[in-house]
Each structure stands twice: as C-alpha cells, then as structure tokens.
Structure 1
Amino acid sequence: MNGNVNIDINKGIGTITFFHPQSNSLPGEILNLLAETITRAGNNEEVKVVVLKSEGDRAFCAGASFDELIAIEDFETGKTFFSGFAKVINAARKCPKLIIGRVQDKAVGGGVGLAGAVDYCLATKFASVKLSELAIGIGPFVVGPAVERKIGVSAMSQMAINATEWQSAEWAKEKGLYTEVYETVEEMDEAIQVLTDKLASSNPEAMELLKKIFWEGTEHWDNLLDERAGMSGKLVLSDFTRNAINKFKNK
C-alpha cells in the first residue's frame, strides 16, 4: 500500500498521522485504517486527547483518490469507497476523547470533512479549503454533515456550489471551521502543544461528557452517512463523472 496511518502516544497525547504520496489523498485502505486508529485511540486508557494530522509540510489532504475513483465499476464498490469517509467521520464523532485537528496547508473535499469532524481545529494561513466534488460530477454528500455542523448551511452551500474556488484559511476561521490561524507551522505546533498538555491533565470524564454534548443531535449519522455514500456511489458511475475525473487527472 502507498501511504500509512500511525499513532504515537506521549504523556497522554495520542497523535494520529496519515500519509499518502499523492498530496495526502485518501484511498479506501487509508480511510479504513484512519477510522480504526481513531477508534482504538478512543478505547485506549493511555490516551487522554487525540491530535489528527497529516505528514509533510505541503497539502493537508487532497481528498478522495482519483485513481481509486476512476477504477470504480459498480455501485457496491462505489458505495463501499465513499463509506470509508463515513467511517472516519463517525469514528471521530463517537470517539470519547477530544480530537484536535492540525491543518498545515490546503484541504480539499474529504480533507475539509476531516477538519469538520474534529472537535477543535488549528491551521496555518496556507490552509485554504475547497469542496471540489460538484466539479467532477458528484457532491460533498458524505462529508457535508460534518462541514455543515461547523460552518452552517450558508457557508456550506457557498463551498459546494462554487466548487472550483478556494476559500482562504481566514474565511474558514470566520465561518467556524478553524479555531485559530497561525502565520507559521511552528507557531501552530506550539499552540497545539500548549493546548494538548492542558487537556491531557484535565478530567477525562468531564471531557467525555463535553464531547457528548457537542455532538448531540448526530445520533442518526450512521444511517445518514450510509445513505449519502450511496448517492456518491451511484453518481461516480456516470459518464459525466468519469469524463470529468479523467480531465482532472490529465491536467
């Protein structure tokens, strides 16, 4: 497999890092590993707080793997692929530990979904965002609920409809996707260290109860995101989407 997911536990802080050589894109295998790793961290008593990050100093996450998308030939395979995003979002939602997101650079599609699925997200000024799904004939159906929960219907609609336009990190902060935006990666990492050190020594029971409150009203997401994965799984088979993905790959 190209790419990996790792977890490092140090003084109560569980840092989950994912990597893929194609701008930290998310093929199905990485998505499944990411969901499993988040779930394991949530069940590990050593872990008091989780940090979710990607490797490298370039793109945080390029979203769905185009190579995998173009290889989908039937509905079940398509639904299974998009269900990978649902698994990650639901794993983050159900994780009893607070999850801190670290976004060092651009986030596209599923990457925006990851930023929406964490409980508290810090970024650099280079971390612009884009929901590009409509441009390739599908839509941000699976990640949509996580993003909309953070930024609201209006901003979500803006991103989903104007699918080829980047929104700045400051825009994402104003809308509530990011909590804070920093000039450099070093400043962001320092802030994450200060925050996670505090959280690692906070009352685990209180943090778990807080998280449950934050996510109230999302109990139906297992079914909702499964239905949304079916929408994308159907659309990815269309000639329109196949042609659009090939155009993107050949740019």
Structure 2
Amino acid sequence: MAYTIEKNEKGYLVFTITRSEKRNAINYDIMEGLSKAISEAEGASDIKALVITGEGERAFCSGGDLSVFHSLYTKEEAYSMLSKMADILYSLTILSKPTIAVINGTAVGGGCELASACDFRLARKGIKAGFVQGMQAITTGWGGGSILAEKLPAEAAMKLLMEAEPQTAEFLYDIGFIHHLYHEEPLCACEQFLEKILRLDVNVLMAYKKIWINKWVESKLRVRIEEEVKTCAVLWESDAHHQYIQAFLNKK
C-alpha cells in the first residue's frame, strides 16, 4: 500500500504516505487514500482530528510523482489530474474537524500545497519546505496558492510562491506557515500539540471550524482554486515545463 490510515484511541485519525523510496511523492493511489481518510474523518463521530504525515525522516511529501505524471502532455490531460487533486485539497481545507500536517521531512511543491490545506502545520527542526513549482515553469496547481493566500499575509505568501525555493523550518515558523517546531518523534509531538484540543467535545470543535469554513465559502475560495488549476494546466503544456520534466527524468 502507498498509504496507511490508522485510528488512534485518543480520538484522531492518522493518514501516512508510505512511499519513502519515492520521497513520499503523490500518485493516484495517494489521492484515493486521501479521499478515503477525509471521508472517514468527516463521517466518524468519535474522530476529532485528522493528522497527515509521511513515512521516514527524509520527506513529508515531495509533491506530485513526475515519474507517473510525465505522460500528461496537454493542458487537458494535466487539468484532469490537477482538478482531481484540487478537489481533494479543497475537501481537506473545509473538513469540519481540525487537521494537522506533521512535516517529518522535506516538503516541496505539491507537498507544501498538501500542508497548506491543513489547519495546523508542525515541522521537525532542521527540515526545509518550499513552493518550488515556479522553478518547474508552472504555478501551484492543486489550489495551494489560493489556500495559502487565505492563511498568510499577502507579502509572506507572495515571497514563498514567487521565490520558488525551499526555506528553513525556522523561517517558515517566523512568518506563520509553521505553527510548532519539534525534535522528538513526530506523532508524540503531534499528540502534545493536540492534547488540549482533543479534550473538547467534537461538536464544539466542528462549530468553531465552521466559522472559517463559512469565511472560505463566502470568499469563493473554490472558484479561485478552479482558476488556479486552469492557469497551471495551460503552463503545464508549455515547452519550458516539458523541458524541466525531461531534464528531471534524465537525471533520475
């Protein structure tokens, strides 16, 4: 399996990407697993939070698996994949319960988009993370840019997107992208972070989350994500992007 979904007795669900040999890159199996975890967390009355992390210490998630997606050549082919993942990340964003990304290793590209869709982001000290899509001659294409614009001040979000390079966890903590830095075992750090949240009744947590969900719905976040997906799809079929992909595969 490319992922695991585990229910913790303390009242939270853990989704783990188990493709450490691929730096936990996202393929279609991971997409299916994320959808399943989101649905399970949404529907279970005894689940108070959803935690997303990666296997091992090297990577949280290295974004989309280019060895899988390199066959997507036209904007129509790219749009099909991008919109599928954007739907998943929007569902994650508006999940009625708190969500936590435990960034156990490097997070780049779509890995940062996945993390941005979570309410809270915890990172192991010393890791780096960045929205590197610009260096691939594309933009964020799963909705991560639009989501980031909701969660960070404009200048901080623009810097991350437009510089398109990995930043240290400490820098990301200072600008508010990371909410907690840890050095212990990832799920232990997560449990400590969640301890007070999990004391509350699930209906209270859902009521508070609804405040932000209402805001995102009213601000037409889903519409803006769709525009982001379309823009990325157009750039995806550009010669510059295909040259990047070929160089990446040749290096591999």
What TM-score comes out, normalization by structure 2 length?
Answer: 0.89
Aligned to 1:48: 48
Which string of whole-angstrom CA distances, capped at 9 and with x for unpartnered residues, describes residues 30-61 of structure 1? 12321332122111112122211111121111
Aligned 1:228-239 pairs, distance under 5 A: 228-239=228-239
Matched positions, count: 247
Q: Which runs of 5+ in 1 are unaligned?
A: none
Question: What residue identity is the alignment partner of 1:218?
Answer: W
Aligned to 1:144: 145
Which string of whole-angstrom CA distances, capped at 9 and with x for unpartnered residues, describes residues 188-223 of structure 1? 533321333433331212211211223443212333
Question: What residue identity is the alignment partner of 2:201?
Answer: N
Is the Cα–Cα contact under 8 Å of residues 7 and 14 in structure 1 kept in the other structure?
yes
Aligned 1:16-165 pairs, distance under 5 A: 16-20=15-19, 21-141=21-141, 142-163=143-164, 165=165
Question: What residue identity is the alignment partner of 1:8?
Answer: K
Q: Give the root-mean-square deviation of aligned CA atoms.
A: 1.9
Question: What residue identity is the alignment partner of 2:155?
Answer: S
Which string of whole-angstrom CA distances, capped at 9 and with x for unpartnered residues, describes residues 154-208 of structure 1? 1222222222x321101111111111112x242x533321333433331212211
Residues of 2 paired with 1:143 and 1:34: CA distance?
16
1:82 deviation in Å?
0.9
Secondary structure of 1:95's match? coil
Residues 1:14 and 2:7 are matched in the alignment? no
Secondary structure of 2:152's match? helix
Secondary structure of 1:71's match? coil
Is the Cα–Cα contact under 8 Å of residues 5 and 13 in structure 2 kept in the other structure?
no
Residues of 2 paired with 1:80 and 1:92: CA distance?
19
Is the Cα–Cα contact under 8 Å of residues 125 and 169 in structure 1 kept in the other structure?
yes
Residues 1:208 and 2:206 are matched in the alignment? yes
Question: What residue identity is the alignment partner of 1:135?
Answer: M
1:128 deviation in Å?
1.3
